[in-house]
């Protein structure tokens, strides 16, 4: 299927640079468009698996053009076999990449990442969108050229629910990864065709699990295996790891991971928490982020050099230009 999708993108006039990830409903590629000299993300979905909710969600969110956390949706291309959604690409990987590095982040960086994450949730929830499949791989880091800042962006709206009433709960089916499912969803995950009454606090629970994992390098259960997740959900006991030393931070995470959704914080409530009152800024400086990831000028020059050699061998001179522009701010 991958070769067929790449051939389809090539026929559309794109140069496929690499695969960004594959999910249940689609495959995302980083592509280069010669006419616009731009690098984009192209999500390819088989037509019979396509749900227009993703495109609709993207169009709703895109109306918030002044929000730096909003992922830009550019175009939808349809054929008899595939649907392609063209989106903005990121240049600093995903939150999962940072989690996998198991870096002990300082409290200032934790606060900035946490605050941006919650601001994303507040934004999408304010326009009636529940993501339902939040995980580290679906949160990207992006530094707009020349900004000197790094912003979080949420992707993959393939399983969203769009509410008419932004404050109301609604019947919905179970979606997403079990590691990040809230109790109200988890209890029906193995029951086919069952629905439950849920709201935006589904995403808040997932955010709590992700941040718990980022900070402590572990999950609230012993290991991400079915038996351990089942036991955690059944016992409903959240244990504070020794690595989370800040009391305000732990109180915030605890309120995101309330087993009873009526007692769980909303994103708006979380942003008013004492943890964020010490430093109201949500900025992530590019220079500080590079130091954390140990990305130095030499490694970026090496990456660009490799790209130039590859492009030169294939006589893709336009790709050298586009790649050079983007490598100046991070990963290709």
The SS3 assignment for 236 reads coil
* C-beta of residue 151 within 8 angstroms of C-beta of residue 141: yes
* C-beta of residue 14 within 8 angstroms of C-beta of residue 32: yes
Known binding-site residue numbers: 43
Q: How many other CB atoms sit within 10 Å of the CB of residue 195?
A: 12
What would the two tokens of residue 156 be? Answer: 């993959």
Residues 6+ apart with CB under 8 A from 292: 98, 103, 105, 109
Known binding-site residue numbers for ATP: 43
C-alpha 10: how far from chain center: 27
Residues 6+ apart with CB under 8 A from 265: 201, 204, 252, 255, 256, 258, 273
Classify the phi-psi angles of 163: left when phi > 0, otherwise alpha if psi is within -120 to 50, otherwise beta. beta
* C-beta of residue 130 within 8 angstroms of C-beta of residue 165: no
Positive or negative CA dihedral for 322, 154, 220, 215? positive
Taking the C-alpha atoms of residue 18 and residue 220, their distance in angstroms, rounded to an integer, is 34
Q: What is the largest CA-CA distance in the chain?
A: 60
Find residue 42's DSSP bridge partners: 29, 86
Find residue 304's DSSP bridge partners: none
What would the two tokens of residue 231 be? Answer: 């036991």
């Amino acid at each position: 299927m991958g070769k067929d999708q790449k051939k389809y993108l090539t026929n559309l006039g794109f140069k496929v640079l690499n695969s960004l990830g594959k999910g249940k409903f689609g495959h995302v590629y980083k592509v280069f468009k010669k006419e616009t000299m731009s690098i984009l993300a192209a999500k390819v979905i088989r037509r019979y698996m396509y749900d227009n909710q993703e495109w609709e969600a993207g169009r709703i969110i895109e109306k918030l053009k002044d929000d730096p956390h909003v992922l830009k949706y550019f175009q939808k291309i349809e054929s008899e076999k595939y649907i392609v959604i063209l989106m903005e690409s990121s240049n600093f990987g995903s939150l999962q990449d940072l989690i996998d590095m198991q870096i002990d982040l300082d409290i200032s960086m934790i606060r900035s990442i946490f605050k941006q994450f919650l601001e994303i949730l507040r934004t999408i929830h304010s326009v009636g969108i529940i993501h339902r499949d939040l995980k580290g791989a679906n949160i990207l880091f992006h530094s707009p050229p020349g900004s000197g800042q790094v912003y979080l962006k949420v992707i993959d709206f393939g399983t969203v629910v769009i509410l008419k009433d932004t404050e109301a709960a609604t019947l919905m089916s179970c979606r997403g990864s079990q590691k990040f499912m809230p109790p109200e969803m988890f209890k029906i995950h193995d029951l086919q065709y069952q629905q439950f009454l849920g709201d935006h606090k589904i995403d808040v629970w997932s955010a709590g699990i992700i941040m718990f994992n980022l900070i402590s390098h572990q999950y609230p259960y012993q290991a991400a295996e079915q038996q351990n997740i089942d036991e955690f959900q059944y016992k409903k006991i959240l244990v504070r790891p020794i690595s989370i030393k800040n009391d305000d931070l732990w109180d915030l995470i605890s309120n995101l991971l309330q087993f009873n959704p009526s007692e769980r914080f909303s994103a708006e409530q979380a942003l008013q928490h004492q943890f964020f009152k010490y430093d109201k800024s949500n900025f992530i400086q590019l220079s500080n982020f590079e130091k954390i990831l140990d990305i130095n000028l030499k490694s970026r020059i090496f990456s660009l050099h490799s790209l130039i050699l590859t492009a030169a061998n294939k006589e893709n001179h336009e790709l050298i230009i586009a790649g050079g522009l983007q490598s100046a701010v991070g990963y290709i």
